[in-house]
Structure 1
Amino acid sequence: MSVFTHLVAQLGRLLEPVLAESATAAAIVLFTVLVRLALHPLSRAAFRGATPMAGCLPMLLQLPVFFVMYQAFSSAEVGGAANELLGHRLFAAPLGGRWTDALGEGGVFGAPGLVFLGLFAAIAVVAAWSAARGRRAAAAAPPVPVALPVGAAKGAAVKGAAAKYGAKGNAGAKGNAGAKGNAGAKGKGNAHAKAGAKASASVAASGLPQVTAEQQAMMRKLGGVLPLLSFGTLITAAVVPLAAGLYLLTTTAWTVAERVWLQHRKERQGDAAQRSSP
């Protein structure tokens, strides 16, 4: 933790001529950006997976960093010496202070309270942006092929063929050609059964994901709930030190912006591949 404290303090000193007492807050944002840049290759690999849980690994790897950030702005001493970070502020609010402390110093609209309100508003905007994009992505996702046993596919094909060509056979019977119509229905029904079985086998051999209808329904529900989890960051920011809240805001905004950029890049590559194909 002392290494982290030293790094943030050094970054704050570099920014102090420009940002004065808010330099340490800016150093926390810069530190968060450096962490996310280091994790970007993992985020890009997770995005290629195109699963609802894409990005979980980068999030898990950030937990130790967040824990260190929390401890650095909650402990009065670091390595046996006074914690110099606790004396720094973001405007009127100390970086080690919590929202409950701000409420006790001036209420919701006091000077420290307004800083926390600004933080909450920024987190809410990012969360709403994330939720809106998540819902659009879930609605635009192509349906996953549903696995059907070969016997079921064959039975469905036979039933459909019998219904289709049985009607033609009846019409043929009225024109004194019923035997021929029934023979045609039987032959074409067998052909459709073979085609249905062949299509089912080709889907299985193609390596495409095959799920049941119940699993598809569960995936749709999960895709609608996951974007709403972004608003849980608001609850966390209300109980952790202000410095940790800044970290949460920065990393959440980075995550959303990163996915927007990766999606845009993927679409551009797809368009380029379509133009180059004959």
Structure 2
Amino acid sequence: MTIIVRYLKLSYNFVIVEESFLGFLNVDDTTGKGLFDITLEELKSFGLEIDDMCGQGYDNGENMKGKHQGVQKRFLDINPRAFYTPCGCHCLNLTLCVMANKCVKGKNFFGFIQCIYTIFANSTKRWEMLKDNVKFWSLKSLCQAPWENRAKSVKAIKLQLVDVREALLQVGENDNDVAIASEATSLAEKEVSDFECLVSTVIWYEVLNHVNIISKKIKSKDMHLDNAITKINKLIGYFKDYRETSFSKVIVEAKEIAIEMDINSIFPQKWLIERKKRFDES
């Protein structure tokens, strides 16, 4: 666990906000109590009084932010003035995770990106065979990844869809692992070559690019709370506008990519499964 303290440095008539990294702590017990105990012990070892604490902030794990057993609640029990502030950037990440996981197409799309990453990351031979063809260094695992990594991964796919498909076909033809070869061929022929997948790629590229810009800005050293709120409100406004007005632009861009990849720019027709009617049903 990383521990950092922020404090006021008084110099003549000036007050300067300073921030110091105190160190890494070995943690065996990751419960709220365990993390609190080791943090409290570390602060005391530096001669810092808990009564002087006027704020605390962490990533938004339940063991840290929990209002009953979390670290912040245990510090508040000692010093009620040590107000807790959640990490704004982490809140944004969590909001986007919930948003994507509530959408079936969103989950399927990021599952598709993760499958591509897994195929190449699990084999050095496979990776080296294809790295000259496609810049896969920019692909990241999406398991518990921050959204900056997701933005990089989607960008790597979106800007190199033709090369991605060719790379997957090479794996399908040449790889000795039958399961991997079959999965790579299926991804190349059914997913990457699917117009709906192209549309999803364009949409998520635009969304994640804007989110990533805002995320970096609110992480900046000189960011103030009122400016951060303004940035977030602009992002919300962008989402609303994009939902209402941008779909036609997405289709145009997806069709341009489809022409480059020589695939049909139409959405696949879904087969409707109908239940047979009984003789007495109208």
TM-score scaled by length of structure 1? 0.19
Higher RCO, Cα 8 Å, sep 6+: 1
Structure with bigger helix share is: 1
Structure with bigger strand share is: 2
Higher alpha-carbon Rg = 1
